[in-house]
Amino acid sequence: MKEKTVLLAEDDASIRLVVSQTLVSAGYQVRATASPDALEKWVRNGDGDVVITDVFLNDTEIFDRLPSLKLARPEIPFIVMSAQNTILTAATAAEQGAFEYLPKPFDIDALVDTVSRALKGPKSSDALAPETRRLIDQAELPLIGRSDAMQDVYRVLTRVMNTDLTVLIEGETGTGKSLAARAIHDLGKGGRGTFLTLSRADMLGAGPDLDRFEGVTTLYVDEVCDFQAVEQAHLLALLDSLPDLRVIASSRKSLGPLIEEGLFRDDLFYRLVVVRFTMPPLRDRKSDIPELARTLLLRAANRGLPAKTLEAAGLDLLTAYDWPGNVRELESVIARLCALAPAASISAPDVERELRSGMTAKTEQGNGFEEEVQALLRRHVIGTLMGATEDDPTRVYQDVIEQVERPLITLALQVTSGNKVKAASLLGVNRNTLRAKINGLQIPSD
């Protein structure tokens, strides 16, 4: 069998060399170039069986040429690579008929697998409507992030946005489930109609009137995990009566355990779970926080708050924080910083003060720090204390101290990127004492 030929267009010489060598080792012939003109010439001459190209080749954007190249060679699949890893790039690649979009940096084995799949046959992909293209160009896209976790989300979105498949989006509160649903609607063919959000409150009583769904193309069922038995029955009947409606549902809880407990209908679950993906929590994509913070500063200014910048030390504090409220909490903190920080540049003390204020508000709503510690001790230690005697003492005191010291020191090392001298200063302990604690508690030095 004749070896298949890959046309590779990449202006980074090191990437071009690595990809070429890998593909040759996998049994392909490779013709590589950094020139968009050379690539276009090869394609129009009928050369090659698959194309791998960066979005930007020197000063040329490949998307400007892709439509005409696809028209000239509709059978040849294009695999598009880009370091501009946003949903706009992924959506544009899908619109232009690319077989696959790979964000940089990518797994080289994944690239080889993609080439293999591309050669087995083209993947069908509907083009975005002109109205949607205009929306992409003009609108402020809601989903931000270039982390691996968000790239996985983008890939799912581009694959489902031009289908009628029902989608279930899972994830913690504040991760952007509703924004992902809106992106599927706005960027897909459903964007020509109305996007309607349906919550549990709408399902009380006999449920919503069917006249409400006139002109609706996408129904977003918000936090379906909150629906009680009667509301689930109403929802299932509603979906059966509106078979042509695109349905996207969200849930902050996994529905599987709810089914096992008898709290969620399995027939409704299977109706909603045709395609399922999870919005990642912000703590799992901290590399996105700098870009998110800058964007949220601009949004705050556009909404009338004072325009502010963020000092590097302040950004480091934002990145070190775990954000239990996810992007929604970050947006709230940024807005308060813009409103309350005294200077035009937000400092680390400003950020620290705001984070402490937010955490204080949370503990005032429930328990204070000491009360929370006491509850943890009651849960984990009370059995040991009750079973101990004067003749048979325990190590409970030392064990508790170690279990508090270990995460505290680990947190200080995370904040200082592993710098032990800075960590000792932050904790208010001698650096030699800290080193001894790290060794004694077997805390990884990295």
Q: What residues form DSSP beta bridges with 82?
A: 103
- 82 Cα distance to chain centroid: 17
> What is the rounded average pLDDT for all residues in the chain?
85
53: exposed, middle or buried (Cβ count in 10 Å: 0-12, 13-18, 19+):
buried
**pLDDT in the model for residue 147:** 85
Q: To 5 degrees, how large is the angle CA 30–CA 34–CA 40? A: 75
**pLDDT in the model for residue 341:** 93
Which letter, b or e, does each residue of 215-249 get, where b requires 16 or more Cβ atoms within 10 Å of its Cβ?
A: ebbbbbbbbbbebeeebbbbbbebbeeeeebbbbb
Distance of alpha carbon 355 from alpha carbon 347, whole angstroms? 13
Distance of alpha carbon 351 from alpha carbon 426, whole angstroms? 16
Q: What are the residue ranges of helices labelled H in 303-430?
A: 312-320, 326-340, 348-365, 369-380, 382-387, 396-415, 420-427
Backbone angles phi, psi at 80, to 5 degrees: -105, 130
Neighbour tally for 143: CB within 10 Å: 18
Distance of alpha carbon 104 from alpha carbon 107, whole angstroms? 9
Please tell me whether residue 101 adopts helix, strand or coil conformation: strand
Distance of alpha carbon 94 from alpha carbon 128, whole angstroms? 8
Give the model confidence (pLDDT) of 68-94 as tens digits: 788 778 889 999 998 876 777 788 887
With bands split at pLDDT 50, 70 and 90, how would you rate the model's confidence at 333?
Answer: very high
Distance of alpha carbon 279 from alpha carbon 180, whole angstroms? 8
% the chain with pLDDT above 70: 87
Q: For 348-352, what is the mean pLDDT?
A: 90
Q: At 287, list the tokens.
A: 């590399």
Give the model confidence (pLDDT) of 369-415 as tens digits: 676 777 667 656 766 776 677 766 677 888 888 888 888 888 888 88
Torsion (CA) 422, 428, 430, 436 in degrees, nearest 10: -80
Is a pLDDT exceeding 60 seen at residue 32? yes
**pLDDT in the model for residue 446:** 63
Please tell me which residue, 24 or 67, carries the higher pLDDT value: 24
Is a pLDDT exceeding 70 seen at residue 46? yes
Distance of alpha carbon 162 from alpha carbon 158, whole angstroms? 8
Distance of alpha carbon 87 from alpha carbon 67, whole angstroms? 20
Give the model confidence (pLDDT) of 190-222 as tens digits: 667 899 999 998 888 767 888 899 999 999 999
